[in-house]
Structure formats: C-alpha cells, structure tokens
Amino acid sequence: MIDSITIERVMDAAEIVDVVSDFVTLRKRGVNMLGLCPFHNEKTPSFTVSPAKGIFKCFGCGKSGTSVHFIMEHETLNYPEAIKWLAKKYHIDVVEKEDSEEQKQQKDERESMMIVSAFAQKFFTRYLWNENEGRTIGLSYFRERSFRDDILKKFEVGFAPEGKLPFTEAAQKEGYRIEYLEKTGLTIKHDDWIRDRFAGRVMFPIHNLAGRAIAFGGRILKEDKNTSKYLNSPESEIYHKSKILYGIYQARREIVINNKCYLVEGYTDVLSMHQAGIENAVASSGTALTIDQLRLINRFTQNITIIYDGDAAGIKASLRGIDIVLEEGMNVKVLLLPDGDDPDSFAKKMGADGFQQYIKKNETDFIKFKTQLFLKETENDPLAKAQLISDVIRSIAVIPNDITRSVYIKECSKLLNVDEEILYNEIYKHKNKQTEDFRRKKTLSNIKQITSYKIEPEKFVTGLLVEELEFLRFLIKYCKTPLGKEEGENPHDPEVVNVDDFMINELEKDDLVSDNDLFKTIFNEIRENIDNESFDSLKYFIQHPNGNISKLATDLISEKFQESKRWSKAGAYTEKEEDILDRLIPKIVLEYKHRKIRFMLEAIEKKIDEASDCEKIREEELIKYMNLKRVEKLIADKLGNRTFI
C-alpha cells in the first residue's frame, strides 16, 4: 500500500492541465481549458479542464475526476498504479508497504499482463545489446540497415533468442506465470507442447501513450517461405491493434509542435523517418486505418499526411478506407513516393533535408489526389467517369465543414469538367441519405435503450433522485459555509450554524437519510468531520479513492450544475447562489424531505393495494401513514403548496 503522505505529495504536484496536456491538446476558454475528449469519439470539443478546481469533465460522455482519475481512465490503471504513474512523472519517490501474499494474489489480470510485457521488452532489449547472439544477428541487421544506436534505444528494439523456450524459461525463472505469458501472446501453449512465439526475430515493442510496452512486432531474419516475415502479438486484454499506432508515444510531442502527423506503414519506416529528423511519424503496422487510430491522432493534431509506396493498385485499394479521415473533420493529404521506394529507403536515400523538401513539394490534398489518380483511366469511358464522380462525391459529402466542402466541390468541378450545380445536387442526395440512415439508427438505439432502462426516469444514473443530488451538491460545495446564527445555551451569545450542521441535523432528527449507498457514504463522512473546521469537502470528495464518489462529486460541482434552473427560471433570482444560502438551503432540505416522504407513503400505499383484507394491514403502518400525510402537508405548505412530479 502507498502511504498517505506520498499520495498527498503526488496529488499536490499533479496539476490537472499539465497531466491532461500530455494526452489532449487544450485551448483556453474563459477560466477553463477545452479540448476533444480522449474517451469518446467527438468532433466538437466538450472536454473541459478546470485548473482552479483541479478537475476534468466531459459533457459528452460524462467522464470526470481529478488528475489521478484521468490517468486511471486513460491508461486503464487502478488507483495505486495511477499514483505511481504520476509519481514517476513528477520524480516523487513512492513509499509503500510490502503487499501481503493475499494482496499479491489480488493483482488484476491486466496489471499482470502489463508487468509481463515490461519484462519481455527489457529482456529482448538487453539480449540485443549484451548477448553474443543478439549482437551478431540482431544488432548486425539494424547496422546493415544503417540505423543509429540512439534511434534503436529510443524505440527500445530488441532481439528474441533462437530456440524453443529460452525466453519462456527465463520469464518463469523470474517468477512470471505461464498463464500471463500465454495471454500476452509471448508464449504459445498447446496440450502437448509449448514454445516462444518470437524466437529468432528482431523485436519492435509497441508502446501505449504512457510509454508502456503492450505488444510486440517481430521480424524474422532468415529466408523461409513457410514463415511470415513479420509476426505481431495477438489481440489481448492490453493490446487492440485497431486502437494503437506504432510510435505514437515517441511522436506525440512532435506531432503537437508541428501540428501534423505523418502516417506510414511499417516499423522500420517509422524508425527511418525519426532518424531523418521527421519525428512526428507513426505507423498503422499494416492494418487498415481505423476510427480509433484517427481519434488517437486527432488528440494532438487535425492534420495528417499519409505516405504511400508501392503500385497504383495497392494505393487505390487503400484509398477507399480514407473517407473516415474526412468524416472526422481532419485535413488529410497524400504523399506518393517514387516507384520502388518506401519511407525507410527514401529517407536513407534523401536524408533529412531532402525528404522534408520532397514532402513539401509533393504532398497533395486527398480529394485532388484521388481524382487525378482515377481520372487517367476514365478519359474515354463515360460510365467509368460517372462512377468516378459518384466515388469522389461520396468522399466530399462526408466532410462536416461547409466551407471546406464547397472548396473541394469547386476544385473537383474543374478537374472533372462537371458543372458545380450538378455536384451540389449529388452532394445534397448523399447528405439526405446520411441523415435518413442516422435517424433510422437513432430510432433503433432509442428503442433499445427504452426497453432496457430499469431506473425510473426521474432518477439519475447513480440511482439518486433529483432532490438527493441537489441536497448533496449544496452539502459538498458549501459544507463549512456559515448559514446563520441560532440561540445556544447562552441567549446573549448565539452560535454560528454552518451548512453541514443544518443539513445533517435536519435529516437525522427526522430519520430521513437516503438509503442510496453513495448518498450515505458522503453524508456519513461529512458528519464525521462536522467539528473539523479545516475539512475541505470539495477537495476531499473530488479526490476520493472511491471512483463513483469522486465522479459524482465532480459532476455535481462542474459547470453544468453551477446554476440550477429552479433558481434562475424566468429571472426569479438574480443573486448569486452563495449570496442567498439562508433561503436556498432550507428550501433544498424541505424539497428533499418532501420527496423522501412521498416515497415512504407510496410504499405503504402499495402494501395496502396488495393486501386482500384491510385487517392484514398492521395498525402501526396505518398510524405511520397518517402521520406522514400530516408531515407532507406541513412541508407542502412551507414550500408554497408546490406541485411535485
């Protein structure tokens, strides 16, 4: 376990903007920072970071919390792991007690797989540089390809020794279980045999955004027609190839600085680009470009240049999948290298300056490149040209920005020798079809949600009622704020009553504390600190180790909840919320009590309805019902006879 002093030091050092900026490009918006959410696919920024409060909140997907919760969510870590991650970032020594055997067994599967992958990366890298086999075979291969040592170390490349089980045996000797070696794909196990997956290959570790090795690509160095040249780790709990890009960890800062990302195909292409000084390059590692990979790039820049090598047929096939880049609102360009060259060979041939000059001179926007590429084949074929026009229109139609779309239409009108009005009409048809398809999907989605929704409509996703949420918001936000004075033991010396004193006492004296677990936890922990004047409820609950409590607290104090409609409706109040707490807090408590009593009455009424004989209703239940009805009326009168839904 990590000691509390270390946690406090980490929390103080981990400034929210600094932490989030490692993963998301933020722009100032008033007192807050705004960016594209890294947790869901969005084109319009709804991800807000509040430096003053030390929290983030996405109003699109609802994720929220502190720096620690951001790292937990982004890197799929548990609380201790996130603390260690931040401690490493800020060079803070982590003091922790040794885990018990039981605690060691409770380490989750994902953590175990990450640890195994980290061991494998260090093993392969050490073997490349320190073992004779690694140097004579693996390092010689990289040297023949003219890769510098600093580039090899930057990407932590390595070598997997030849043989049936050298890596697996070394891992087991260090205490790593075969279960996790198999789940990460490092070891292949069948009923009657077991072997290393990557034996005899140079190794390219695949890192996540935090720099942790999550998978590997291995290239065989022997000529063998029956063996694939490249072999990748299989999909696992920690590695999904469609969601990661090779080199993204090493390239992310340069992508932000240059406001552009170069996308190539293979591992050595990335290494050569970086060696040539073009360090904002990543690779799709042979997979077709996916939405998740685009989202990864879009966190750092909206400008992407895809570098192609190979024949025209291969390029045409791959172009069909790039409409998703335009649909994401990104600016995509294409660079075609000379015949026979790939980024690896071309970078070595041209050098850094030559390669960069070639890029500037020859990169072309995607629509223009696509049109020109196909136009040569359709000059004497009207049907083929019509098909080309439809194909290009489909690409333009997905562009979300109206101005960008109109520029492309004008350009294509000239290239295709087709009247702009015709192109606009085709675009209109495609947009209508997209809208209709979207409506159909939305309708099906709504039906699915309605049929599976099990919480009453007036309840929040946590199961809390609106009145309970409002009660907690005021209790957390204004906990130690003086509410007023009341007569104490000495009539001449009235006592100051804080918000927490009043709200907690009001519920306890009437035995109306909510049954919701989140409510009770927050309520009880504030009650325990009722005499602690230095208790900072905002900081305490935002940084709460219980993720549900932390998220709820963040949601309640985030900008979305800053001004309740019930206080500003029709201009009823013009004062700031904190200036009229003496009126608001009693009203909040009364509304909470009224709803709580209504639920208690409904529960008794249900018993009465279900009873076949009035005699089966216990007398005390009826007395309780009548008393509750009287209390309900009193509260309703105090609230001005408001009608509650």
Residue 614 DSSP symbol: G
pLDDT of amino acid 268: 93
Residues contacting 581, CB < 8 A, separation 6+: 474, 478, 481, 483, 499
CA angle 559, 564, 570 (to 5 degrees): 125
Q: Which of 58-72, 402-416, 438-452 has the highest mean pLDDT?
A: 58-72
For residues 213 and 207, is the Cβ–Cβ distance under 8 A? yes
pLDDT of amino acid 98: 57
Instruction: Read off the pLDDT band of 461 (50, 70, 90).
Output: very low
Chain centre to alpha carbon of residue 545: 19
| pLDDT tens digits along 102-131 | 555 545 788 889 999 999 999 999 999 999
The larger pLDDT score, comparing residue 433 to residue 383, is at 383
The CATH topology of domain 108-239 is DNA primase DNAg catalytic core, N-terminal domain (3.90.980)
| pLDDT tens digits along 331-363 | 888 888 887 788 888 888 887 788 888 988 888
Amino acid at 409: I
Whether the per-residue pLDDT at 641 is higher than 60: the answer is: no
Query: Can you tell me the mean pLDDT for 173-199?
Result: 92
Whether the per-residue pLDDT at 499 is higher than 60: the answer is: yes
Q: Give the DSSP letter string of 427-468.
A: HHHHHHHHHHHHHHHHHHHHHHHHHH--S-TTB-TTS-BHHH
Out of 3.30.465.10, 3.40.50.1220, 3.90.580.10, 3.50.50.60, the CATH code matching 4-89 is 3.90.580.10
The larger pLDDT score, comparing residue 492 to residue 548, is at 548
Q: How many helices (DSSP H) and strands (DSSP E) are in the chain?
A: 29, 18
pLDDT of amino acid 458: 36
Q: Which ranges in the chain are annotated with CATH 3.90.580.10?
A: 4-89
Q: Which ranges in the chain are annotated with CATH 3.40.1360.10?
A: 249-427
pLDDT of amino acid 452: 38
Out of 1.10.3720.10, 3.40.1360.10, 3.30.1280.10, 3.20.190.10, the CATH code matching 249-427 is 3.40.1360.10
Q: Which ranges in the chain are annotated with CATH 3.90.980.10?
A: 108-239
Say how many CA atoms lie within 13 Å of 297 toward its Cβ: 32
